[in-house]
Amino acid sequence: MVINHSATAGTLESSDALITVEPGEGGIALDVTSSVMNQYGRQIKATVLDTLERLDVKDAKVTVVDKGALDCTLKARVECAVFRSCDQSAANIPWGGVIK
């Protein structure tokens, strides 16, 4: 998928994460800050990168401000931000396809 414009998903509430995606400058640039950085930073990075790969996003600047979200929440927030960034979040989300 191609990031057309910047979009966000999520909140800064405890156990959630705020994900911002913006058009990239060639490749994935990921910035993570997290309240559980020392124990889960690597897993957050891996989850976000896996999700982007599943959505076939190759060129994006992604900012994660995590407040202790579980993996399932992170995935959902990344997916939502990506779909919003190419105006596909209102209809025709591929449930059961890349969104599982």
Partner 1 sequence: MKNAVGREIPDFLLKDGKEVYQGKNYMDGKYLKKASPCTRRYEKPQESKIVESIADALRQVGAKSGMTFSFHHHLRNGDYVVNMVMKSAIEELGLDDLTIAATSLGDAHDPIADYIEQGKVVGIQTSGIRGRMGEVVSAGKLKTPAIIRSHGGRPRAIEAGEVHIDIAVVAAPTSDCVGNCRGIGGKSNCGSLGYAMTDAKYADHVIVVTDCLVDFPNMPASVEAIDVDAVVVVDSIGDPRKIASAAARISQNPRDLMMAENVAKVIASTPWFKEGFSFQTGVGGPSLAANLFLEKYMDERGIKMGWAIGGICGPMVELLKKGKVGKVIDVQDFDLDAVNSINQTPGHYEMSASQYANPANKGAFVNKLDFVVLAALEIDTGFNVNVLTGSDGVLRGAPGGHPDTAAGSKCCIIVTPLVRGRMATVCEHVVTVTTPGDCVDVLVTDYGIAVNPLRPDLIECLDNAGIPHVTIEELKEKAYSIVGRPDDLEWEDNVVAVLEARDGTILDVVRKIKPLSLND
CB of 15 to partner 1, least distance (A): 5
CB of 41 to partner 1, least distance (A): 5
First-to-last CA distance in the chain? 16
Q: Which two tokens stand for residue 27?
A: 């490749």
For residue 13, the number of C-alpha atoms closer than 13 Å in the C-beta half-sphere is 8
Nearer to partner 1, 17 or 84 (CB): 17
User: Whole-angstrom Cα distance, residue 32 to residue 44?
Assistant: 8
Contacts to partner 1 by CB under 8 A: 14-15, 30, 32, 35-43, 45, 67-71
CB of 60 to partner 1, least distance (A): 16
